[in-house]
Amino acid sequence: MGKPTGFLEFQRELPADRAPLERVADWKEFHHHLPEADLKKQGARCMDCGIPFCHTGQLVSGMASGCPIHNLIPEWNDLVYRGLWREALDRLHKTNNFPEFTGRVCPAPCEGSCVLGMNNPAVTIKNIECEIIDHGWSNGWVTAEPPKKRTGKKVAVVGSGPAGISAAAQLNKAGHEVTVFERADRPGGLLMYGIPNMKLDKKEVVLRRLALLEKEGVKFVCNTEIGKNLPAEKLLKDFEAVVLATGATKPRDLPIEGRQLKGIHFAMDFLTANTKSILDQHKNGDFISADGKDVVVIGGGDTGTDCVGTSVRHGCKSLVQVEILPKPPLERAKDNPWPEWPKTYKMDYGQEEAAAKFGADPRVYLTTATKFEGDAHGHVKAVHTVQVEWTKNDKGQFIPKNMPGTEKVLPAQLVLLAMGFLGPEQPLLESLGIERDPRSNAKAEFEKYTTNIKGVFAAGDCRRGQSLVVWAFNEGRGAARECDRFLMGATDLP
Full DSSP string of 83-122: T-HHHHHHHHHTT-S-HHHHHHH---HHHHT-GGGGTSPP
Asked if 10 and 45 touch (Cβ cutoff 8 Å), the reply is yes
Residue type, position 494, single letter:
P
Measuring CA to CA, which residue among 291, 256, 254 is closest to residue 270?
Answer: 291
CA 466 to chain centre: 9
DSSP 114-151: -GGGGTSPPP-HHHHHHHHHHHHHHTT-------SS--
Instruction: Give pLDDT tens digits for 154-187.
Output: 999 999 999 999 999 999 999 999 999 999 999 9
Percentage above 70 pLDDT, the chain? 100
| Phi, psi for residue 123 in degrees, rounded to 5 | -65, 145
Number of neighbours of residue 93 by Cβ within 10 angstroms: 18
Tell me how far apart the alpha carbons of residues 292 and 150 are, in angstroms, rounded to a whole number: 56
Instruction: Report the run of H or E that residue 298 belongs to, with start and end.
Output: strand 294-298
Residue pair 167/477 in contact (Cβ under 8 Å)? The answer is: yes
CB contact at 8 A, 297 and 308: yes
pLDDT tens profile 206-252 = 999 999 999 999 999 999 999 999 999 999 999 999 999 999 999 99
Q: Residue type for 423, please?
A: G
pLDDT, position 465: 94
SS3 179: strand
- Output the pLDDT for position 178: 98
pLDDT score for 101: 98
Q: Who's near 31: CB < 8 A, 6+ residues apart?
A: 15, 17, 18
Q: Model confidence over 463-475: pLDDT tens digits?
A: 999 999 999 999 9
Q: DSSP character for 54?
A: G
Write the CB contacts of 365 (distance below 8 Å, at least 6 apart in sequence): 323, 325, 326, 327
* SS3 category, 180: strand
* Phi, psi for residue 371 in degrees, rounded to 5: -165, 140
Hey, what amino acid is at 303?
A: T
Domains and CATH numbers, the chain: 6-138 (1.10.1060.10), 154-249+422-488 (3.50.50.60), 253-419 (3.50.50.60)
Q: What is the mean pLDDT of residues 75-79?
A: 96
H/E stretch holding 266: strand 264-266
pLDDT classification of 395: cutoffs 50, 70, 90: confident
Examine the pLDDT at 1 and tell me if it is beyond 80.
no
- Rounded Cα distance, 448 and 411, in Å: 50
Q: Is it the case that residue 88 has pLDDT exceeding 90?
A: yes
Q: Crossing angle, helix 349-358 and helix 301-314, to 10 degrees?
A: 40
Segment 452-463 mean pLDDT: 97
The CA-based angle 132-133-138, given to 5 degrees, is: 100
DSSP annotation of 204 reads: I
Q: Which of 326, 329, 274 is nearest to 300 (CA)?
A: 326
pLDDT at 162: 97
What is the predicted pLDDT for the residue at 2?
79
**Distance, C-alpha 157 to centroid of its chain:** 19
Q: Categorize the per-residue pLDDT at 115 as very low, low, confident or very high, splitting at 50, 70 and 90.
A: very high
Contact (CB, 8 A) for 208 and 137: yes
* Residue 32: Cβ within 10 Å count: 10
pLDDT score, position 50: 87
C-alpha count within 13 angstroms, C-beta hemisphere, residue 475? 30
The pLDDT tens digits of the residues spanning 266-290 come to 999 999 999 999 999 999 889 999 9
DSSP summary character for residue 53:
G
